[in-house]
Amino acid sequence: MLRSRLLQIAPVFALGLSLQGYAAPTVHVLNSNLTQAEVVAAQQGWCDALLKISAAYASGGFSKAKVTAEAVIDQAYAYQYGPVAFKPTLASGSQTFRPTRAGALAYFVGGNPAFPNDKGFALKPWRSCEVINQVIQLNGSYATTMGNVRFVDASGKTTTVDKTWSFMKEPDGSIRIVLHHSSLPFES
């Protein structure tokens, strides 16, 4: 009986000792859930970055575009964690998939002899870039989108591609691309 009574009051006694002389802990609950607004902002950030690479090429040539593209890739994609599932629009054969940073950089700016077919998609004189989402799936710290991206070049020519992205939200709030699939729409 004494033992059961001691077991009943032990938690209260322990709580009293733990609170004596100590302030209550500050609890900070982190929510890593991606929101639709964050996903749309990341997509717009990708478009803005593509236009920035294009403008860098127009104003400073290949080296300026390459430095800009490297910074864009390091900020937007998750290559620092491992392979990214990247399938560029105009890639084919053994170089269809670009799981490495070097492969992504070659696609955006060319100039890499290991990727001789790449001429630099981002070096074209792009003037606008618009994302048109058909699907946005939010799942905790990950999101997947599917839709189109419409590019307009300096001559007014429009190019529309089918685009699927998966994004990951890091604990610090950064949003990174972990999957990027792009293809030209099927024409019958």
User: Which domains, from first to last, does the chain contain?
Assistant: 36-183 (3.10.450.50)
The count of residues in the chain is 188
* Most confidently predicted of 17-26, 108-117, 179-188: 108-117
pLDDT in tens, 129-170: 999 999 999 999 999 999 999 999 999 999 999 999 999 999
Sheet holding 158-169, edge to edge: 85-87, 175-183, 158-169, 142-153, 126-139
Q: What is the pLDDT of residue 152?
A: 98
The pLDDT score that the predictor gives to residue 32 is 65
Mean predicted lDDT score pLDDT of the chain: 87
Over residues 29-56, the mean pLDDT reads 90
Global pTM value: 0.81
pLDDT at position 3 over 90: no
Beta bridge partners of 106: none
Q: How does pLDDT run across 84-99, given as a tens digit for each residue?
A: 999 998 888 888 999 9
61-86 tens-digit pLDDT: 999 999 999 999 999 999 999 999 99
The pLDDT score that the predictor gives to residue 177 is 98
What is the distance between the alpha carbons of residues 9 and 15, in angstroms, rounded to a whole number? 10
Q: What percentage of the chain reaches a pLDDT higher than 90?
A: 72
pLDDT attached to residue 31: 56
Confirm if 124 and 90 have CB atoms less than 8 A apart.
Answer: no
